[in-house]
Amino acid sequence: MKAMILAAGLGTRLRPLTNTIPKPLLPVGGTPLIVWNVLLLKRHGFHHVVINLHHLGPMIEQALGDGSKFGIRIVYSHEPIILGTGGGIKQAEPHFSGEPVLVLNADTLVEMDLEALADFHRTHGAAATLVLREDNDAVDWGLVEVGDDHRILRITGKGRIGVSASMHRMFAGIHIFHPRLLQQVPKGVASSIIDPYVAAIERGDPILGYDLHGYWSDIGTAERYAQAEKDARAGLIRLEDRFPHNSSS
């Protein structure tokens, strides 16, 4: 399975830091955010990664290169205009070879078993699997309502109406989907990936939720960036855990 890291955002809430450095290259624990995610992917067996670029994109491309120094292959999808999650993923579609793709945000720090996520997606025959979290502020993030069978019923109130949800969650920004869900997504137009997911829910396609219980932090504000730095110093998330252990270590 291939992976995609979304790295085209402007990082407006972290200005002035992001005026001269793209948010994915901001360091946490001395390592750029996007490298944390590259190493997480490598650790869990993802060797082909697509990264979309817009704001200060050449700096990201220069920092990561073709991925060989990380033991993976990186290709880039350039966005002359920023396309959002839907348009950005649609633009990169030719790199997916018609197969399911795992998507991460470059500016999110997370610790989870991506192989277990991929296994869940395959064994449940999902059209898409969204990683979800319990959060007291789920409504502020965007409420995701889930039924007993892992099926997502509604996202921010849109989807299947008249069906009771058993769980309320928020979307953690990590998902696996089949490219067939992109058929109605317009190319070259800014959009959200949530739109085709809602349309799929309304059609009755299996759009499933997968609960995350490990570390997660969205580096969206100066306060959360500072907290992530503290968490890294405290060992709540560790870079060395992203490398497979071997007998020589």
- Tens-place pLDDT, residues 5-64: 999 987 677 677 667 889 899 999 889 999 999 999 999 999 999 999 998 889 999 999
Q: Would you state the torsion angle of the CA atoms of residues 50, 57, 128, 174, taken in this order, to the nearest 10 degrees?
A: 110
C-alpha–C-alpha distance, residues 46 and 192, integer Å: 25
pLDDT for 244: 46
CA distances from 197 to 106, 141, 176 (A): 21, 17, 11
Least confidently predicted of 41-45, 112-116, 245-249: 245-249
Name all domains of the chain by residue range, CATH numbers in brackets. Answer: 2-232 (3.90.550.10)
Max avg pLDDT among 129-143, 162-176, 184-198, 214-228: 184-198
pLDDT for 42: 94
Query: 25: which 2 tokens?
Result: 């290259």
Map tokens 């002359």 to a residue: 80
pTM as predicted: 0.91
